[in-house]
């Protein structure tokens, strides 16, 4: 069974950094898009950063210049480096994977596989 397990969330102060990790198991695809989504209380889920199988990237305007997505296909893992965190970044962050997808999955919700979510809380 396909599983996405994420880690790295926590409670930090504004200006701090966190690195989220997502590891895929039971996955039988060579080409797939990966992404990070977040949902804050009272808000819709939004795509934060996504990467296609060709390493093309998408970043939400609110995180450009602060967040960086990367992947290590040999480890079936991908990451979100979050720098200069702001209180507005507080949300549950979900990793996701979509076979044969592109970075455009950040603007869509019909995605095949999801992680369990990780809470990121940024205090002022």
**pLDDT surpasses 90 at 88:** yes
- Per-residue confidence (pLDDT) for residue 23, from 0 to 100: 97
* For residues 72-85, average pLDDT: 96
- Per-residue confidence (pLDDT) for residue 109, from 0 to 100: 77
**pLDDT surpasses 90 at 5:** yes
pLDDT in tens, 29-45: 889 999 999 999 999 99
- Per-residue confidence (pLDDT) for residue 30, from 0 to 100: 87
**pLDDT surpasses 80 at 13:** yes
Query: In the predicted model, what is the mean pLDDT of the chain?
Result: 96
Per-residue HEC secondary structure of the chain comes to: CCEEEEECCEEEECCCCEEEEEEEECCCCCCEEEEEEEECCCCCCEEEEEECCCCCEEECHHHCCCEEEEEEHHHCEEEEEECCCCHHHCEEEEEEEEECCCHHHHHCCCCCEECCCEEEEEEC
pLDDT in tens, 105-114: 999 878 989 9
- Per-residue confidence (pLDDT) for residue 54, from 0 to 100: 94
Confidence of residue 95 (pLDDT cuts 50, 70, 90): very high
**pLDDT surpasses 90 at 27:** no
């Amino acid at each position: 069974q396909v599983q996405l397990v994420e880690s790295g969330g926590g409670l930090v102060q504004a200006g701090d950094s966190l690195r989220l990790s997502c590891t895929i198991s039971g996955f039988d695809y060579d080409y797939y898009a990966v992404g990070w989504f977040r949902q804050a209380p009272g808000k819709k889920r939004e795509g934060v950063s996504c990467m296609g199988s060709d390493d093309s990237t998408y970043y939400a305007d609110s995180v450009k210049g602060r967040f960086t997505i990367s992947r290590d296909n040999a480890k079936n893992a991908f990451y979100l480096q979050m720098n200069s965190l702001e209180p507005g970044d507080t949300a549950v962050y979900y990793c996701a994977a979509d076979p044969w997808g592109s970075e455009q999955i950040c603007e869509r919700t019909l995605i095949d596989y999801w992680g369990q979510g990780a809470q990121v809380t940024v205090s002022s």
